[in-house]
């Protein structure tokens, strides 16, 4: 069973045959900046807003601000979310009611992002809602999106991190490994079961059917990319049996800068001095390699990566892309949402801006990367990518998204 493609979301009459679509920016860091100026310091990060009506109203205002800044795809306030994260960490036991309350709180994000009261984008009747799904590493303290050091049974390397919720909370909502089937790779099995459980939890909310895209973000491990594909295969098989339409999904990877200032995929299993091109080949094979039981995504992405290094990553992925899937009929898309150029310390939870990046420069850099990606063709003359979704991640706020939209229009990438 094939996954849903992205093009069905975007009418060719409005977007063209090789669309450029604008995504929103970084949620948590925008909420910490004016005009919101929120002190987000819990393990839930921006998802803590789901606990109050005032928080839900703030999220609605933020989603509206993104649309007013030119965004056409909005990411939900769910990146850190999994049901155990919403259980009271001080409780000594959890009842069925506790689990129901935690679930109802978590899925409120879907109602906010699909609300009819949101502004209308220029080229769409309503914004496309993307379910933001962070990696397993986003559940850890400190977070492991940039290092991929997961504790057993999800990883094999020594890690300084532990779950961001009590063990008792995890035991109250145990993984169902039998759903996914066990293989020789126990870590992949557990990651697949975790991703599947989270998908099933969100799918219980009726507003899930209004979500246009499932966005698996900041993936730091090859193993986790494979696990996501396994989880999606099982998830869509079950939905197909219920007569549900398949969801478009993508897997986005992260490339933090190493000690020598070069972008590098953080997977600890890739130790040994692999070049960026060699890493890209392994990533593309894991994402688009044909294998039974592994559903193929509609797009591959790069997020939370420095915009100064994004072009190098896209170039490496493009070469690997052509070698792996270049002549296939279906043209997968590219999703790009680099950070705002600042550097985050996961231990101190503080930001610095060593390159002095500003919104105008950021928008220009990313627009040029999009133009280069769209100009690539296969050896047979086919467009390498079916289209590009471009936006921002951490520290890319509404001003950056507005500048990006303006620059894309100026370069003729978006019809005015």
Q: Is residue 316 part of a domain?
A: yes
The boundaries of the domain holding residue 406 are 7-410
Residue 299 phi, psi dihedral angles, 5° rounding: -155, 160
Point out the least confidently predicted range of 1-10, 38-47, 261-270, 395-404: 1-10
Helix or strand holding residue 218 (H, E): strand 213-219
Tell me the backbone φ, ψ of residue 214, rounded to 5 degrees.
-105, 115
Count the alpha carbons within 13 Å of 188 in the hemisphere toward its beta carbon. 17
Residue 409, strand partner residues: none
pLDDT for the residue 175: 93
Residue 7 pLDDT class (50, 70, 90 cuts): low
- Determine, yes or no, domain membership for 322: yes
293 found inside a domain: yes
- Tokens for 96, please give them: 């069925």
Q: What is the mean pLDDT of residues 170-193?
A: 93
Confidence of residue 38 (pLDDT cuts 50, 70, 90): confident
pLDDT value for 2: 57
Kindly state the tokens that stand for 187.
């870590």
Whether the Cβ atoms of residue 31 and residue 58 lie closer than 8 Å to each other: yes
26 within 8 A of 71, measured Cβ to Cβ: no
**Count of domains observed in the chain:** 1
Has residue 1 been placed in a domain? no
pLDDT at 197 over 90: yes
Question: Cβ distance 31 to 399 under 8 Å?
Answer: no
| Residues 280, 255, 81, 336, CA torsion sign | negative
Give the tens place of pLDDT for each residue, 225-255. Answer: 999 999 999 999 999 999 999 999 999 999 9
Classify residue 2: in a domain, yes or no: no
- pLDDT at 305 > cutoff 60: yes
d(CA 337, CA 340): 9
Residue 202 lies in a domain: yes
CATH of the domain at 264: 3.20.20.330
- Whole-Å CA distances, 97 to 47, 201, 253: 21, 15, 36
Distance CA(349)–CA(341), nearest Å, equals: 16
pLDDT digits (tens, 9 = 90+) for 201-219: 999 999 999 999 999 999 9
pLDDT level of residue 94 (50, 70, 90 thresholds):
very high
Q: Which residue has the tokens 């145990």?
A: 174
> Six-digit token pair at 73?
């795809």
pLDDT in tens, 257-287: 988 889 999 999 987 789 999 999 999 999 9
Beta strand residue intervals within 23-169, DSSP E: 73-75, 128-133, 140-141, 162-163
Query: Range with the lowest mean pLDDT among 91-105, 142-156, 181-195, 346-360?
Result: 346-360
List, in order, residues 6 or more apart from 21 with CB less than 8 Å away.
Answer: 10, 15, 72, 73, 128, 387, 388, 389, 390
pLDDT at 3 over 70: no
Percent of the chain scored above 70 by pLDDT?
98
Structure token pair of residue 415: 């019809």
8-state DSSP, 9: G
Which secondary structure element, helix H or strand E, spans residue 344, and what is its range? strand 343-345
Separation CA 217–CA 22 (nearest Å): 17
Q: Is position 415 within any domain?
A: no
> Which residue's structure tokens are 């020594």?
158
Look at residue 352 and tell me whether its pLDDT is greater than 70: yes
Residue 67's H or E segment, with its range, is: helix 53-68
User: Are the C-beta atoms of 307 and 263 separated by less than 8 Å?
Assistant: no
State CA 143 to chain mean position distance: 15
- Feature table: binding site for Zn(2+): 304, 393-394
Is residue 221 a part of any domain in this protein? yes
Binding-site positions read 304, 393-394
pLDDT at 259: 85
How many Å is the Cα radius of gyration of the chain?
20
pLDDT tens for residues 100-154? Answer: 999 999 999 999 999 999 999 999 999 999 999 999 999 998 889 999 999 999 9
Q: pLDDT-based confidence at 354, cuts 50/70/90? A: confident
The answer to whether 340 touches 392, Cβ cutoff 8 Å, is: yes
Kindly state the average pLDDT of the residues 64-93. 95
- Of 411, 393, 407, the closest CA to residue 26 belongs to 393
142 cis-preceded (ω within 30 degrees of 0): yes
Angle at 189 between CA 325 and CA 76, to 5 degrees: 70
Higher-scoring residue by pLDDT: 144, 379 = 144
pLDDT value at 346 more than 70: no
- In this predicted structure, the answer to whether residue 376 has a pLDDT above a threshold of 60 is yes
């Amino acid at each position: 069973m094939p996954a849903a493609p992205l093009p069905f979301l975007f009418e060719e009459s409005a977007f063209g045959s090789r669309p450029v679509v604008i995504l929103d920016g970084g949620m948590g860091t925008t909420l910490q900046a004016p005009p919101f100026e929120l002190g987000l310091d819990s393990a839930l990060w921006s998802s803590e807003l789901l606990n109050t009506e005032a928080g839900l109203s703030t999220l609605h205002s933020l989603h509206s601000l993104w649309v007013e800044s030119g965004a056409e795809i909005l990411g939900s306030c769910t990146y850190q979310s999994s049901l155990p994260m919403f259980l009271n960490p001080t409780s000594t036991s959890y009842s069925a009611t506790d689990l129901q309350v935690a679930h109802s709180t978590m899925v409120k994000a879907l109602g906010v992002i699909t609300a009819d009261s949101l502004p209308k984008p220029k080229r769409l009747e309503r914004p496309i809602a993307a379910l933001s799904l962070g990696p397993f590493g986003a559940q850890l303290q400190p977070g492991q999106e940039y290092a991929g050091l997961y504790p057993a049974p999800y990883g094999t390397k020594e890690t300084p991190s532990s779950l961001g919720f009590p063990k008792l909370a995890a035991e109250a909502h145990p993984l169902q490994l039998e759903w996914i089937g066990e293989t020789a790779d126990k870590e992949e099995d557990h990651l697949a079961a975790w991703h599947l459980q989270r998908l099933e939890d969100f799918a219980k909310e009726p507003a899930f059917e209004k979500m246009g895209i499932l966005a698996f973000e900041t993936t730091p491990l090859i193993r986790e990319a494979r696990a996501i594909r396994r989880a999606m295969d099982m998830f869509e098989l079950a939905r197909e049996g219920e007569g549900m339409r398949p969801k478009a999904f993508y897997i986005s990877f992260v490339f933090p800068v190493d000690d020598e200032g070069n972008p590098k995929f953080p997977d600890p299993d890739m130790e040994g001095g692999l070049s960026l091109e060699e890493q890209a080949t392994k990533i593309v094979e894991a994402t688009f390699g044909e294998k039974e039981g592994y559903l193929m995504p509609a797009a591959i992405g790069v997020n939370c990566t420095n915009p100064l290094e994004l072009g190098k990553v896209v170039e490496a992925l493009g070469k690997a892309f052509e070698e792996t899937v270049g002549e296939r009929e279906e043209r997968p898309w590219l999703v790009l949402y680099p950070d705002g150029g600042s550097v985050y310390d996961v231990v101190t939870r503080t930001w610095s801006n060593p390159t002095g990046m500003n919104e105008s420069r950021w928008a220009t850099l990313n627009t040029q990367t999009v133009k280069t990606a769209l100009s690539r063709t296969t050896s047979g003359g086919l467009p390498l990518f079916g289209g590009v979704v471009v936006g921002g991640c951490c520290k890319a706020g509404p001003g950056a998204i507005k500048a990006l939209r303006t620059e894309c229009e100026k370069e003729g990438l978006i019809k005015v």
